[in-house]
Amino acid sequence: MGQSITRKIIQQHLKEGEPKAGFPVAVGIDQTLTQDATGTMAYLQFEAMGINRIRTELSVSYVDHNTLQNGFENADDHRFLQSFASKYGLYFSKPGNGICHQVHLERFGVPGRTLLGSDSHTPTGGGIGMLAVGAGGLDVALAMAGQPFHLTMPKVVNIRLSGSLKPFVSAKDVILEILRRLTVKGGVGKIMEYSGPGVASLDVPERATIANMGAELGATTSIFPSDEKTRIFLKAQDRESSWIPLAADPDAAYDETLEIDLSGLEPMIARPHMPDQVVRVADLAGTRVQQVAMGSCTNSSFRDLSVISQMLKGKRVHPEVSVALAPGSRQVVRTLMDRGEWQAIVDSGIRILENVCGPCIGMGFSPCSNAVSLRTFNRNFEGRSGTKTAGVYLCSPETAAAAALTGVITDPRTLGASVKPPALPDRFPVDDAMILPPSADPGKVEVLRGPNIKPLPVKEPLPGSLSGGILLKVGDHITTDHIMPAGAKILPLRSNVPALAEFVFEAVDPTFAKRAKAAGGGFIVGGVNYGQGSSREHAALAPMFLGVTAVITKSFARIHLANLINFGIVPLTFVNEADYDRIEQSDEVEIDVTGLKAGSEGAALTLKNKTKRFDASLTHSLSARDIALIRAGGALAYAKRSS
């Protein structure tokens, strides 16, 4: 039986285990990336291991999230990141150079390599044939230290593409259609591998868009073949030597298959407040729009902005719509300038933002109260834009540009103008002046720290019994934005856990942090897909700082589950979901964890509800290594003890 692309790469990088769905494996990591909102903590964790140089083939520190410098905190963090990279052997992409996923695709991605990034949209690299996985910062720190990445081997889903996209239908519509079919939990425990004749009709930026937003399916990652289109892209980046052909064997076996006819797709849009609330754009046509935001790591490539330029040429945006654009990289802007397409964007009346994530994580350009905001981004969680009352809709660049011109949600096919998907240039304008290499003399480099960078919190080893109150009970699909909000007010505190912890669950219950500290810690109860969304480990680290010892849910999202384990918080699930309904906030409970171990026997635990006087059966999916990490007080304590 032949192998899929996924299994080929995993087999080549396998360090431990058997690559069989549901079994624990450890995979060697070739490259890592961080961004500034997660990077400072990852590098503090790396420092704590006492290693003087990274042990990966390549690691890059990007600054693209936390760039609003309205105080010393962000500027100090950027200085720390630059000095750390110089000393420890990383490349450093300066603020304004571009969004990490776009720049990594352009300048560093290599087909067949493994990439671990402290950002949930790291799977963007799958567009170039990488096995690229998002993870918490501590997992990335461990990878930089030369340790493999541990995970449960996912199922591999074959998404077969046929046909080709029609005018005004783009890659964003492909992934929105998949989200419509599978939902935000449809990819949990799975890798999405694309194949079929339709793949050849998509260039690398289009593939990257689809792979990027596979994170919203809950998928471990997504991956495309490395073919002639990949070679052409890398050649245009002066990196043809990095190209290798990579495809599944003709008789490759998959766990599931999904068929998508690209020719049958039409413009799609996700309604508030979940990426899977997808309908046809035509179904919402005429809805008044107050804001349009274009860019983000999902849709800020040259291909996307060229289409926007064509649609805006000779026109001005609607006077009642606030429109902004955040390009993906300096290279994208320079390419548009060289081709004479940048002028149309500037002349249209669009606000030009930095080459950063920006509005996608609530860092500026928040909508007005009760606004309808169309965004080419990847997430539309309630309040993520910075305005809780706004309704954020996710759409393609074509649909966004149409709304910017007309002031209402508009099927771009009805505008009448023709748009030609651009061919990639033979050579992109390559300028790596804002990517700084590490120092050739690291012994002379001093790592510079501002006063906002605080020491790492330490967790004690796991006791034999956990007891306390239910601090909070929440429902289904609680995101990391609910647990640990982003935005301009909170992101500057990412290096200061004591200050950051004051905002845990602020969007759900502003009294949570105060109550948790007063109680000396306790438990959280959640519903289905708890912790979906970003890779931010602070959504586990800050609750740990507040004394949360266990989280009990109906089910977990992958990255957050790993982050809880990494910080010594016990993740448990209800055997009988009816017990979720019986437990209430403030109930006093106790769990004996002396018998916590891997396997069916050790997975059976009992929650004793001392307030209501009933027992609830709990289970877990922890491996023997996971349990060892939790017992030690987290992955960092375990790594230091094992070294």
Catalytic entry in 13, 113, 379, 558: 379
Residue 640 to residue 642: CA distance in whole angstroms? 5
Amino acid identity for residue 458 in this structure:
V
Residue 131 to residue 117: CA distance in whole angstroms? 11
Catalytic entry in 121, 384, 536, 560: 536
DSSP 336-370: HHHTT-HHHHHHTTPEE--SS-GGGGTSS-PPPTT
User: Does residue 23 contact residue 152 with C-beta atoms inside 8 Å?
Assistant: yes
Token pair for residue 428? 């992109």
SS3 258: strand
Query: Using alpha carbons only, what angle is made at residue 627 by residues 115 and 133, rounded to the nearest 5 degrees?
Result: 15
Burial 420-456 (b: 16+ CB within 10 A, else e): eebebeeebeeeeebbbebeeeeeebebebbebbeee
User: Does residue 543 contact residue 569 with C-beta atoms inside 8 Å?
Assistant: yes
Largest CA distance in the chain: 73
Q: In Å, how far from its chain's centre is CA 344?
A: 32
* 535 is known as an active-site residue: no
Q: Which residues contact 360 (CB under 8 A, 6 or more apart)?
A: 293, 295, 296, 297, 326, 375, 377, 378, 379
Name the burial class of residue 476, with classes exposed (0-12), middle (13-18) and buried (19+) by CB atoms within 10 angstroms of its CB. Answer: middle
Which strand ranges, in their side-by-side order, compose the sheet holding 322-326? 278-280, 268-270, 391-394, 372-375, 291-295, 322-326, 351-352
* 534 is known as an active-site residue: yes
Question: What does DSSP assign to residue 460?
Answer: P
Burial 224-251 (b: 16+ CB within 10 A, else e): bbbbebbbbbbbbbebeebbeebbbeee
* 107 is known as an active-site residue: no
Residue 237 to residue 225: CA distance in whole angstroms? 18
Give long-range contacts, CB 8 A cutoff, 24+ apart: 178-181.
178/210, 178/214, 178/217, 178/258, 178/260, 179/213, 179/216, 179/217, 179/270, 179/275, 179/276, 179/278, 180/268, 180/276, 180/278, 180/279, 181/258
Catalytic entry in 4, 7, 59, 64: 64
* 631 is known as an active-site residue: no
* 560 is known as an active-site residue: no
3-state SS of 148-176?
CEEEECCEEEEEEEECCCCCCCCHHHHHH
Catalytic entry in 36, 119, 139, 579: 119
Token pair for residue 342? 């940048």
Residue 46 to residue 352: CA distance in whole angstroms? 36
Residue 184: closest CA among 213, 211, 223: 213
Catalytic entry in 13, 65, 107, 271: 65
3-state SS of 224-243?
CCECHHHHHHHHHCCCHHHC
Q: Which residues contact 367 (CB under 8 A, 6 or more apart)?
A: 290, 291, 322, 373, 385, 386, 387, 390, 392
Residue carrying the six token digits 């950051």:
500
* 432 is known as an active-site residue: no
Residue 270 to residue 374: CA distance in whole angstroms? 9
Please identify every residue annotated as catalytic. Answer: 64-65, 119, 379, 534, 536
